[in-house]
Structure 1
Amino acid sequence: MNKETQQRLRAFIDLDGTLYHGSTMIEGANELIATLNQLNVPYLFVTNNSSRTPEAVAKFLNSIGIDARDDHVLTSAQAAASYIQKHYTKQKVFVIGEEGLQQALSDSGANWTDCVEEAWTTDIGVVVQGIDRQLSYAKLEAASAAILRGAAFVLTNPDLMLPSDKGISPGAGTIGAALQAATGVDPVVIGKPSHIIMNAALERLGCSAEEAIVIGDNMLTDMKAGAQVGCRTALVYTGVTTPNNFASYKEKSGVIPDLVFHNLQEIRQWIIEEVSATI
């Protein structure tokens, strides 16, 4: 990387498995973010979580000791809402999802409903689906019927399972798989590893892919997403990927990270050295 690019370093940082596990901060996460702030390195928290609003994400991060503002957060729900407004303006949207997705659609100006009866009686142009822990058969039935009538199918993120207080619970991708099976229609996937959320992140920070580095623990989502758009990638062994399963995930993802770190302290030191090289 040349000096001009180094001076414009940007960071896209995964959350769950990278900065925290459950409700516990991973060691060094607070110091990593503090260093980015001190060095004036622009960054975004890029998350596949569609259930939380950016404000809720920032509040949670602050509660576990990581400095955060809501304008540093980009969720798959926000990226989905932006995608829908760009490609399906003025179309009525049927939502299977929680507060984060609903607020993102409202903020974007979308005309949306989560009312099952309305989904049957109005012309639905888009079905957008994220995690929904109040999911019912009636919602699946209405969404499937709308898709079969020609509505576009947008999936916030493909994660089949997600960490929870119970251990592992079905994710948005599991609900999406049910809709795919019912309709035979593949969704437009917004979250990582899709290029759509990464392009939204690049647009938010106003930078090129060559200026940015994606930091995360998951080869199948974080590293693949970065590689898809031409960002550099930095894998950290704090979550899904470990030294023991790296080879397996490399084969599954088809990508090789540009950088590999054992912990967040190593990433922090790399950033300090990267920025210092331009001074």
Structure 2
Amino acid sequence: MQSQLAHLTSVVDNQVRASLHVICCGQPSQSQLARHLLWTTKSEPACTSSVVDNQVRASLHVICCGQPSQSQLARHLLWTTKSEPACPSSVADNKVRAILHVICCGQPSQSQLARHLLWTTKSQPACTSSVVENQVRASLQVICCGQPSQSQLAFICCGQPSQSQLARHLLWTTKSEPACTSSIVDNQVRASLHVICCGQPSQSQLARHLLWTTKSEPACTSSVVDIRVRASLHVLYCGQPSQSQLARHLLWTSVLEPACTSSIVDNQVRASLHVICCGHPC
């Protein structure tokens, strides 16, 4: 098991890639773009670009697909193709700014919220809050942007006030509310996955098994790393039973099901690529 875990790619990168691909799912016409930007299956040529650059470019270009009017913003924020000049800003700052700004693209009314939460361009003042806390809060607030009435809670509960207690426990809240005392890493993962699942109460059993639950519920006993990856990908599939065969082949399944025998790294990539095409079996 340890030798397999050693092959895992960054959990954070994988979470981001998967999350953004799901937003795009149902746009099969973008398959050519996806094929070029993502590591493809073994039957297709792999992308020759830098792995790190490619991950970021792919995630952001996919979420932007079909929104050509955003090209100027995308060109400035993303590491562009070799035929275009790369963004001169700090790589780390640019990653976060790009991911969040692209999610917000087309919603100019949210600019004030975005300016406060995100590392802004050099012509704007940078956010003075804690970088880590700001990253998480910004990610979730931007996902919920357009629902300012939820700002005092935690933005996972958009339009679902009954989720406020869960949200308050899982997310780092605003300074006027008590911060979550749980592990930062665990909290980041839980928050990301709950946001994806929000509004799907029928998936509660799956969510309870896959996610680190609240302190009043038993924590998952499986390997933390495996669970992180499985949870990210399974949650993306929740509510799509017709995809179960594909999911079983691509994802590490639950302990009660046989694990996929393919290479872990290859499997992660194939799963991410298929998520964008979910519902469109090739």
TM-score, L = length of structure 1: 0.29
TM-score, L = length of structure 2: 0.28
Question: 1 or 2, which has the higher strand percentage?
Answer: 1
